[in-house]
Amino acid sequence: MEIVTSFPEGFLWGAATSAYQCEGAAEGYGKKDNQQDVINREIHDEYGYADASVASDHYHHYKEDVALMAEMGFSSYRFSINWARVLPDGVGEPNPEGVEFYHNLLHELHAHNIEPVVTMWHYDLPMALVNKYGGWGSRQIVDDFEYYACFILNEYKDEVKYWLTINEQSIVVNYIDRKNKLTNEQKFDPKFRYQANHYMNLAHARAAIAVHEIVPGGQCGAALDMAPYYPHTCDPKDILAAKNASNFKNYFYMDAYICGEYTESVLAYLKRQGLMFDIQPGDMELIKKGSECFDFLGINYYQSACVKAPTPGAARRSKQNNKIGKGGHVVYEVQPDLFEGCKNEFIGDTDFSMPIDPVGLEYVLEDINDRYHIPVMICENGFGAYDKLEKDGSIHDPYRIEYIREHIKAMKAAIANGVKLLGYNPWSAFDLLSTSNGIAKRYGFVYVDRTDDDVKECKRYRKDSFYWYKNVIATNGKNLE
Ligand code: BGP
């Protein structure tokens, strides 16, 4: 039963992208490589997926892209700044053309009354810093992240109110080798990811403090990937496994951002497993101070997860994404003595093996509100699929409409239960590179006509979901049909 019929006044309706996944113009233009440029070149060579050199060519299509957002009625747009575009060496000399690009984009958004929500870092660390000291492996990154944050905050402070420091820190930690260019030593050091996580928390805290110091009325958050962890059965051992997984994968990150402390049971587990990281005097004070500047939590919600008691002796492994786009190809995560992933028989999934669970969105929104009493913004949510461009230029994507409709219903239920939801920015405004499946796996409301092999002209076409979402926004979420 739907209790809330429409959304609060001023609710932000929009969509999201990230820089390296859509901008293109990766080589030249005064910019230098970031680690995603390099990683995506490698993915291209190994799997044949498109690399970041052209991506959706948003760099050259940004006016058209913003016009399409305005046509849908967007009141917000979440995008990220490409660190190596504005500061090619990570710190020091800026690139005037790159700095100007974001001024132009922001100008275009404001001209259409679209509120920008800007991510400082979405996986794309400048290679200059990776080569200099190993990126997130060195404490130096904390100073350099602050330098970058202060640079963009000073530059864009009059144009941007909502700032997100880091995208999906828990994903960066859990897939440390896929999201970063690591040295061999880092790759084989089991503690590395938790030390890097600590540096991310310090960097985030410095940036959050800077948002409050530099931006008049600035609001600071970070976007976390969020899945509820369900127990496989009501066997108390499975229930305990679900609690462990929630602590390890979710609360460990939220507790640091929102409360300025580390979840005790996770620290105890890391110590037991020989994975504990180094905390220097003053670090926890900084993390605490950062938490006092944390205004809202961004969540990226795609799916829920199911776990059971870990098999004794099972080796640690991360979840492996489905790379081939045929159902069933998924390898579940194992954290020894903590939990083990498994299939949830109650819910279906996409061709890319993402469980489809709108109820899970209501669950996480209410859980966050009950535990932390903090406003939330949905910064990603979406359906990746092989879309087909018909001869007449139409794209029929009923599966995406269905997915988003059910998730909006879950948002309504959560609001009815007291959740302070600021906005909805599904993934993605227009088609862009997937992190795992090239351009063939599409999420956008707007189709970008290119393939993994042929960049063509990146012409834009409106999908059926474009018209549907436009109507949802026009009725402030009242009409979902
Ligand atoms: C999130 C990332 C995005 C985006 C999305 C879809 O984790 O923040 O960058 O890509 O997932 O995932 P994928 O591209 O792998 O399908």
Three-class secondary structure of residue 66 per DSSP:
helix
Which atom in ligand 1 lies closest to the alpha carbon of residue 433? 14
Instruction: Establish whether the linkage from the previous residue to 428 is cis, with ω within 30° of 0.
Output: yes
Q: Which H, E and C letters describe 5-64, residue by residue?
A: CCCCCCCEEEEECCHHHHCCCCCECCECCEHHHHHHHHHHHHHCCCCCCCCCCHHHHHHH
| Contact indicator for 118, 155 with CB cutoff of 8 Å | no
168 assigned to active site: yes
Category of 263 on φ-ψ map: left (φ > 0), alpha (ψ -120 to 50) or beta: beta
Q: Which tokens sit at 350?
A: 């996409």
Q: Nearest 5°: CA angle at 449, between 447 and 453?
A: 130
Per-residue pLDDT of the chain (481 residues; tens, 9 = 90+): 456 677 999 999 999 999 999 999 999 999 999 999 999 999 999 989 999 999 999 999 999 999 999 999 999 999 999 999 999 999 999 999 999 999 999 999 999 999 999 999 999 999 999 999 999 999 999 999 999 999 999 999 999 999 999 999 999 999 998 899 999 899 999 999 999 999 999 999 999 999 999 999 999 999 999 999 999 999 999 999 999 999 999 999 999 999 999 999 999 999 999 999 999 999 999 999 999 999 999 999 999 999 999 999 999 998 876 666 666 668 899 999 999 999 999 998 887 878 899 999 999 999 999 999 999 999 999 999 999 999 999 999 999 999 999 999 999 999 999 999 999 999 999 999 999 889 999 999 999 999 999 999 999 999 999 999 999 999 999 999 8
What pLDDT is attached to residue 226? 96
Alpha-carbon distances of 304 from 355, 422, 448, 471, rounded to whole Å:
6, 22, 29, 28
Q: Name the amino acid, one letter, at 129.
A: L
Q: Which tokens sit at 428?
A: 């993605």
Ligand 1: residues within 6 Å at CB?
A: 18, 21, 167-168, 171, 225, 300, 380, 384, 427, 434-436, 441
Mutation choice for ligand 1 from 299, 427, 433, CB with most ligand atoms inside 8 A: 427
What pLDDT is attached to residue 323? 64
- For residue 417, the tally of other CB atoms under 10 A from its CB is 14
Mutation choice for ligand 1 from 225, 383, 434, 437, CB with most ligand atoms inside 8 A: 434
Which atom in ligand 1 lies closest to the alpha carbon of residue 167? 8
Which atom in ligand 1 lies closest to the alpha carbon of residue 384? 16
Which one of the listed residues 115, 362, 366, 380 is annotated catalytic? 380
| Contact indicator for 317, 220 with CB cutoff of 8 Å | no
Q: How far is the CA of 436 from the centre of ligand 1 (A)?
A: 8
pLDDT digits (tens, 9 = 90+) for 58-92: 999 999 999 999 999 999 999 999 999 999 999 99
E strands, 138-272, where? 162-167, 219-225, 229-231
Q: Select from 150, 152, 156, 90 the least CA-distant residue to 125.
A: 90
Residue where the block lists tokens 């069933």: 328
| Contact indicator for 446, 429 with CB cutoff of 8 Å | yes
| Contact indicator for 16, 405 with CB cutoff of 8 Å | no
Q: How far is the CA of 39 from the centre of ligand 1 (A)?
A: 15
The b-or-e profile of 79-107 (16+ CB within 10 A means b, else e) is bbbbbbbbbbbbbeebbeebbebbeebbe
If you take atom 16 of ligand 1, which residue's CA is the nearest one?
Answer: 434
Three-class secondary structure of residue 331 per DSSP:
strand
Q: How far is the CA of 307 from the centre of ligand 1 (A)?
A: 22
pLDDT digits (tens, 9 = 90+) for 361-416: 999 999 999 999 999 999 999 999 999 999 999 999 999 999 999 999 999 999 99
Cα separation, 351 vs 333, whole angstroms: 19
What pLDDT is attached to residue 385? 94
Which atom in ligand 1 lies closest to the alpha carbon of residue 223? 8
Which atom in ligand 1 lies closest to the alpha carbon of residue 171? 7
Eight-class DSSP state of 69: H
Contacts of 148 (CB under 8 A, 6+ apart): 83, 86, 87, 90, 91, 120
Which one of the listed residues 23, 108, 168, 340 is annotated catalytic? 168
Q: How far is the CA of 171 from the centre of ligand 1 (A)?
A: 10
